[in-house]
Amino acid sequence: MADLRTEFLGIKSPNPFWLASAPPTDKEYNVRRAFEAGWGGVVWKTLGEEGPPVVNVNGPRYGAIFGSDRRLLGLNNIELITDRPLQQNLQEIKSVKKDYPDRAVVVSLMVPCVEDAWKAILPVVEETGADGVELNFGCPHGMSERGMGSAVGQVPEYIEMVTRWAKQNTRMPVIVKLTPNISDIRKPAEAAHAGGADAVSLINTINSITSVNLDLFAPEPMIDTKGAHGGYCGPAVKPIALSMVSEIARNPLTADLPISGIGGVTTWRDAAEFIALGAGNVQVCTAAMTYGFKVVQEMISGLGQWMDEKGHESVASVVGRAVPNCSDWQNLNLNYVSKARISQDDCIKCGRCFAACEDTSHQAITMSADRTFEVIDDECVACNLCVNVCPVENCITMERINPGQVDERTGKIVEEEFADWTTHPNNPGLVAAE
């Protein structure tokens, strides 16, 4: 079996699956059970400064959206950082790390935006034997109202400043956790890099209201008829997270900055995708909160099987492999032509491809009296909507029209040469070649 061991900022773990800073890592009891279940590491739930701990609401902390069969697709929370005393957390971190020296134990931190606060907390964390710290600049609810969390993460100058303080006050590796509640994720990543961060982790949760109570006209999760936006996570946010990870990995200014990928990792495949887009490891929360710690076993076996099948010897050998293929729209090959193909053997005749294409796309699928569905090459623009709405995986596929063949839609022969928007005659910005 493939070697799943990873070394992230010099922190070793038996596999790339870490539990993200969140309720599953709030105390020793959970973390020990997580390690017994096989998790490679944890980021301990965010510690605040010494003193009376924060308090949490006493009503619902979570809201959710669901897919078919009430599969949880997206989870939102309004829980704050740890509400347990700092000293208790520190003792427990020390105790766990001592018993699990082969696992990664990183501690998430969130203290006020003054250097003294960071000077105070970093040494006591270091004393626990923890492997590193993660600066929580992402939490979008509650703490941000107090000038912490995403209130810092949304201002690149603050990120750089606080990151620098942290680096100056500890020998531990420093990971900066980024908020996605920002228009260009590259800016905070660049700021973290400039401040000396050893890595960034992303994404933290997204501002969200999961639903509205239509009897009381209040957002959910609702506390006594009122609601506040929470942080959204789970499978639904994965596409956003993947895109943001890729943006940082592609950015020449941060291309060498290690990334810990977070956002909706639920299966081994999700993890492999983050890794392919440049993440050195992944952090998981919602999957564990939905199914329990045992889910990591599928992630481990699945990633291993895939690596074996593909001949990938180590996780490190896969990191970033998809980054060179992340491009811009203007660079996509306009001479690449494909058409939908419906496998009649696999088709169950539900007709959803037809409804989708006929009503909302290009009228490129015919339906016969006996419910045979076929693609009209004259009309098919290869939009892929039929593939996406078909309930049977791989029943509809996209087949390339090879160069030299005629595209029935345009009547033109598909050309061999690469041609994109930058060279297209319709492009008003086209600068004639000299």
Partner 1 sequence: MANSINTEGVVAGRLDADVLADNFSDLHPPLDDHEALVAADRCYFCHDAPCMTACPTSIDIPLFIRQIATGTAEAAAKTIFDQNILGGMCARVCPTETLCEEVCVREVAEGKPVIIGQLQRYATDKAMDAGVHPFTRGVETGKSVAVVGAGPAGLAAAHRLAMLGHSVTVYDARAKGGGLNEFGIAAYKSVDGFAQAEVDWLLQIGGIEMQYSKSLGDEISLESLRAMHDAVFLGVGLGGVNALSAEGEDKEGVCDAVDFISELRQADDLAELHIGRRVVVIGGGMTAIDAAVQSKLLGAQDVTVAYRRDKSAMGASEFEQDLATSKGVRIVFNAQPLKVHGNGSATGVEFERTNNLDGDLRSTGETFLIEADNVFKAIGQTLTTEAGLDLERGKIVVSVDGKTSIEGIWAGGDCALGGDDLTVTAVAEGRDAAMDIHATLMGKELKNG
391 touching partner 1, by CB under 8 A: yes
Q: Is 139 an annotated catalytic residue? A: yes
Do 284 and 20 contact (CB within 8 A), yes or no?
Answer: yes
352 touching partner 1, by CB under 8 A: yes
Lookup result for tokens 């029209």: 401
**Chosen residue from 18, 137, 274, 354 binding partner 1 by CB under 8 A:** 354
Nearer to partner 1 among residue 68 and residue 183 (C-beta): 68
Q: Which stretch binds partner 1 (CB under 8 A): 125-133, 163-171, 345-353, 411-419?
A: 345-353
**Chosen residue from 51, 52, 58, 70 binding partner 1 by CB under 8 A:** 70
348 touching partner 1, by CB under 8 A: yes
351 touching partner 1, by CB under 8 A: yes
CB of 348 vs partner 1, minimal distance in Å: 4
367 touching partner 1, by CB under 8 A: yes
332 touching partner 1, by CB under 8 A: no
69 touching partner 1, by CB under 8 A: yes
| Residues in contact with partner 1, shown as a per-residue x/- string from 292 to 331 under the rule CB under 8 A | ----------------------------------------
Q: Which stretch binds partner 1 (CB under 8 A): 68-76, 166-174, 416-424, 426-434?
A: 68-76
| Residues in contact with partner 1, shown as a per-residue x/- string from 368 to 387 under the rule CB under 8 A | ---x----------------
Q: Which stretch binds partner 1 (CB under 8 A): 12-20, 156-164, 178-186, 342-350?
A: 342-350
Question: Catalytic residue among 139, 233, 285, 386, which?
Answer: 139
Nearer to partner 1 among residue 392 and residue 406 (C-beta): 392
Nearer to partner 1 among residue 220 and residue 273 (C-beta): 220
User: Measured between alpha carbons, how far is 59 from 77 in angstroms, rounded to an integer?
Assistant: 12
Say how many residues touch partner 1, by CB under 8 A. 14
**Chosen residue from 228, 326, 355, 398 binding partner 1 by CB under 8 A:** 355
Nearer to partner 1 among residue 348 and residue 419 (C-beta): 348
**Chosen residue from 392, 413, 419, 430 binding partner 1 by CB under 8 A:** 392
Handedness of CA 283, 72, 237, 109 (dihedral sign): negative
Nearer to partner 1 among residue 146 and residue 349 (C-beta): 349
CB of 63 vs partner 1, minimal distance in Å: 17
Question: How buried is residue 298: exposed, middle or buried, by Cβ count under 10 Å (0-12/13-18/19+)?
Answer: middle
Q: What are the backbone angles phi and psi of residue 374, rounded to the nearest 5°?
A: -135, 150
Do 308 and 2 contact (CB within 8 A), yes or no?
Answer: yes
Do 50 and 112 contact (CB within 8 A), yes or no?
Answer: no
Nearer to partner 1 among residue 309 and residue 370 (C-beta): 370
Q: Which stretch binds partner 1 (CB under 8 A): 74-82, 292-300, 335-343, 348-356?
A: 348-356
Q: Which stretch binds partner 1 (CB under 8 A): 66-74, 127-135, 251-259, 306-314?
A: 66-74
Q: Which stretch binds partner 1 (CB under 8 A): 48-56, 65-73, 162-170, 222-230?
A: 65-73
Would you name the residues annotated as active-site residues? 139
Residues that bind partner 1 (CB under 8 A): 68-70, 348-352, 354-355, 367, 371, 391-392
